[in-house]
Amino acid sequence: MSISTLDRLLGRFADLTSRARPWYRWPFLIAMPTLVGLRVNMRTRNLFDSETEPEPVAPETPLDVRNQRTIDGSYNDLGKPWMGMAGTRFGRNVPIPDSFGEEEPGLFDPNPRLVSTKLLRRKDFVPVPHLNLLAPAWLQFMVHDWLSHGDNDPAVKHEFPVPEGDDWPEKRMSILKTTPDRRRPGDEGRPDAYVNKETHWWDGSQIYGSFAARQRQVRSDPETGTLLADGKVAVLPDGLLPLHAGHKTPGQELAGVNGNWWLGLSLMHTIFAREHNSIVDRLRIDHPEADGEWLFQKARLVNAALIAKIHTTEWTPALMNSPEGRLAMRGNWWGLLGEHFGRAYGRVGENEVLSGIPGSPVDHHAAPYAITEEFTAVYRMHSLIPDEFSLRKHETDEEVIRTDFFGVTRGKVRTDIYARLPFEDALYSFATSNPGALVLHNFPNGLRKMPEAPLKQPEHAEDASVFIDLASIDILRDRERGVPRYCAFRRHLGMFVPKSFEELTDDPEWQQDLREVYGEVEKVDLLVGTLAESKAARNGTPPGFGFSDTAFRIFILLASRRLKSDRFFCEDFRPEVYTRAGFDWIRDNNFRSVLERHFPDLAVHFADVRNVFFPWRKGQAR
Amino acid sequence: MTRRLRIPGLIDLVRIDDPASIAAASTDARLDRDFTGGGPLINRWIAGRIRRSLRTPTEPLPSVSPRDQPDRAARQAALQCRLRKLVAEGAVAPDHIEELAAYVRGERHERSVGPLVQTAVGCLFDDGYMATASTWRAACVMDAAPRNMNPLRSLWWAVTDAVGRAQRLLSGAADDDPAGVHATAIAVHSLVRSVRAMRQLWLEPGTRDRITADAAVTRSLRAPESVPRRWPAPATTVWGNLPAGALTLFELDKARERDPDADITFMAASWSHCPAAEWTTALLKAVWQRACQGAAP
């Protein structure tokens, strides 16, 4: 890795301006170079590799690795074929010595359940008026592409007492520990590392799977079990996903990754399974002689790139609804010269700032590419999910179903929702509802007392006696995996560090709540701190942003890294690899056009919105 | 990351902070600690300062002794053996642990750490070693001398012979043992930074209750910021063709953030490894544990 003189100057500039105030409190012309400089600095200072000797080994593959993505993500980097592969370790954004997992007794200080009850429990639903519910659905759709810590070992648990007076059914709470990777000879003196069960790449693995057996399932005829010869993924004649044969939950839909299934995921998976098949149809026009395998692989490349483009240029700008946020993210794809310039004249040199990352050279910067534990931590956004769902007809906006979160989860998506409501209406309902805001006291209560029985033994849902508090789990996960607490985290990112609760948040009630639970601001958990800073005018959430500045710092690093490290978004982002038709498909499409293609009847509802993640126009009541 | 600063005839300096590159370069037989001979102008000037600063009145410190210097390896092994024995016997600075632990707990003044650590290190070479403000100041002068870029300070030190006086003072205190002078003048600074980091860790609310002693040591341990090496002959490397006299700096403390292994912090796999690796780790662990034992409930 080498840094250009311009990058070095931008990095110094960002250091200088950040000393006085955060980037978003500077005028636009200073804020933008500051943002670029912050990314330069983080690429140098905040990327750490957790792989040690002996390095993982990528399996031999008969695939044409130059021109297609492998199932497990290997051979993306041809010099280090294991990089980003399913089963490799999460990286870090803080120095390795500072990433030891917390141990008892401090691990439970303060009690995670106390944090859940006193600081996270939703009192009144606080919505984000400018976003719709497709935003959290998309978020989880993406997260399932990027990461999974896999199953925990049921024999190894954290156990701690539940605070006095709590209404939790038991006196003690037990949470399964995350299973660390086995120790290697090179791990001496280093903290435990954890393995990503999915590919780290932005490769659509949530649709296509990270393992051969699952990919074969999603590509097979659900009736006969034979591989679809036309290169498509399985979609039923009614446009829905096939059911997962043999799954313990009746009605569970099939996808590359279908854990933690709910209606939001079902919507996204169905849309992009259909999109894959549309891409195949388009490619077959130009390549009538191509076989199904070739068509599948090219369509996958195109579909994954389109998803990455939508995330970069539509989803993230919707959540970062400010001139700087929009330019930063759109700049990642098209560069400062913009989309129209790129369409007219193509790239101007290799510079990512001018012409965007796609098509520029690969650069892993200070460490081999991997999704990081800290990225996982700042993507804990369960507060986006409401506790109630109103599902309505798109023509009249008439409510058909009102249900809690569990009414839209797992097999119920098929058995209860799609059985009573067309897919289009479910999509419309999500697009006309608001998600929750990422603030304190807004964690969905349904997720704070989830009956475990329906998840494990769905046939006995009414007998639930074991519960899960996802808020407590969120807190404990960051602690056990060595993600620094809020103040230490910001220190590592070179950000302003609050010295008191008054500096953390402007809300006097929150200050009092935080003081009662934590006592000292240095103990505040990362998740809680990021939610609390939503009400901090001086050093908190930037105006128009749906998430905290702390999380944003990790996003500006990782959002560009997911592109900049991926050969298929950099030097192999070209028509020779994607095909001319595929390359044009990515250029000419966005989420709006995808929705128009598959749901033309709904177009009237989003015709007027600038971004389809903003609330759509509601149907007219008769 | 590797950065090369090169102006032909004037300077050729390669700085490395990537653990894998440091590990590879430190086993390169062409790289040495011989700071005599020609090379680009500024390189010669830097090498001369290293040569003049890092020495006792009579001989170079071990940290700048060439690989093939007679007795170098034998002395290094003997010292390592002696320090390992102390670790095995559980006799790692027993008279100083309590004071260092008190410092870590915040019960001693910030400025006291230098002499405290210097005394603990000095006693390895002379039982009666007692650091003073003068010895600590001398250690700071010797440590800063090779890197000093302040012309006024250089002039003042030249006029007052500050570096020479520091060498004589510390040499006398360590019984003229070059390893002792290196330990109390140069290596002591990494240990001081480690103990300071440990104090910060201790004083961070809640932290001491959630990390193990081993984790505390790993988080606190600091490596030398930079370790110089010289290419005595022209060489073809991954960084390009280097002329005779080119310098390479291993930025060990930056590399430690990526790989806290002893191979980096103490260059344990290299011929120029630190003989006090085990002793340093054991000392820090003992200090942390004593700090925990002595903490108010």
Helices and strands (H, E) in chain A, number of each type: 27, 6
**What residues does B41 pair with on adjacent strands?**
none
Helices (H), A46-132: 112-115
Residue A275's pLDDT band (boundaries 50, 70, 90)? very high
Cα–Cα distance for residue pair A381/A443, rounded to 1 Å: 9
Q: Where are the domains of chain B?
A: 2-60+72-293
Model pLDDT, residue A2: 65
B 244-263 residues with CB < 8 A to A? 256-262
CB pair distance less than 8 Å for B257 and A96: yes
Query: What is the nearest CA distance from A45 to chain B, expressed in angstroms?
Result: 10
Residues above pLDDT 70, as percent of chain A: 97
Query: So what's the pLDDT on residue A463?
Result: 54
Cβ-based neighbours of B235, under 8 Å, separated by 6 or more: B30, B241, B242, B246
| Residue A5 pLDDT class (50, 70, 90 cuts) | confident
Q: Which of B2, B208, B258 sits opposite A49 (nearest CB)?
A: B258
Residue A48 — pLDDT band, cuts 50, 70, 90? very high
Q: Greater confidence, A526 or A455?
A: A526
- Report DSSP letters for B167-193, one per residue: HHHHHHHTTT-HHHHHIIIIIHHHHHH
Q: In CATH, what is the architecture of B2-60+72-293?
A: Orthogonal Bundle (1.10)
| Run of H or E including A176 | strand A172-176
**Tokens at A104, concatenated:** 């008892």
Q: Could you give the residue numbers annotated as active site of A?
A: 144
Tokens 């498509």, located at residue = A232
pLDDT tens for the 297 residues of chain B, in order: 788 999 999 999 999 999 999 999 998 999 999 999 889 999 999 999 999 999 999 999 999 999 998 899 999 999 999 999 999 999 999 999 999 999 999 999 999 999 999 999 999 999 999 999 999 999 999 999 999 989 999 999 999 999 999 999 999 999 999 999 999 999 999 999 999 999 999 999 999 999 999 999 999 999 999 999 999 999 999 989 999 999 999 999 999 999 999 889 999 999 999 999 999 999 999 999 999 998 766
Q: Which ranges of A164-262 would DSSP assign to H, the alpha helix?
A: 205-208, 212-218
- Chain A residues whose beta carbon lies within 8 Å of the beta carbon of residue B201: none
Candidates A2, A3, A189; nearest CB to B261: A189
CA dist B33 and B36 (Å) reads 9
Q: How many C-beta atoms surround the C-beta of residue A399 within 10 A?
A: 11
A385 and A438 Cβ atoms separated by less than 8 Å:
no
Q: Is residue A251 pLDDT above 60, yes or no? A: yes
Query: Does A1 contact chain B (CB < 8 Å)?
Result: yes
Tell me whether B210 touches chain A (CB under 8 Å): yes
Reported in sequence order, the residue ranges of B226-267 that DSSP labels E, i.e. its strands, are: 227-230, 235-237, 240-242, 247-250
pLDDT at A620: 83
**Global confidence as pTM:** 0.94
Q: What is the mean pLDDT of residues A394-401?
A: 96
**Chain A residues in contact with B204 (beta carbon < 8 A):** 488, 522
Please tell me if residue A53 touches chain B, with a CB cutoff of 8 Å: no
For residue B257, the chain A residue with the least C-alpha distance is A95
Q: Between chains, do A103 and B210 touch, taking CB under 8 Å as contact? A: yes
Q: Do B257 and A100 touch (CB under 8 A)?
A: no
The pLDDT value given to residue A622: 54
Q: Is residue A453 scored above 80 in pLDDT?
A: no
Residue A615 is given by DSSP the state: P
| Structure confidence at residue A423 (pLDDT) | 98
Q: What is the pLDDT of residue A452?
A: 73
* Lowest mean per-residue pLDDT among A323-332, A567-576, B219-228: A323-332
Is the pLDDT reported for residue A466 higher than 80? no
- Does residue A454 register a pLDDT over 60? no
Q: Does B28 touch chain A (CB under 8 A)?
A: no
Instruction: Give the separation between CA B133 and CA B169, rounded to whole angstroms.
Output: 12
Contact call for A96 and B259, based on CB within 8 A? yes
Tell me the chain A residues in contact with residue B278 when contact means C-beta distances shorter than 8 Å. Answer: none
CB contact under 8 A, B211 and A100: yes
Residue of A523, A524, A528 to mutate, testing the B interface (most B Cβ within 10 Å of its Cβ)? A523
Q: Which of B209, B222, B254, B256 to mutate against chain A (most A CBs within 10 Å)?
A: B209
Residue of B nearest to A101 (CA): B211
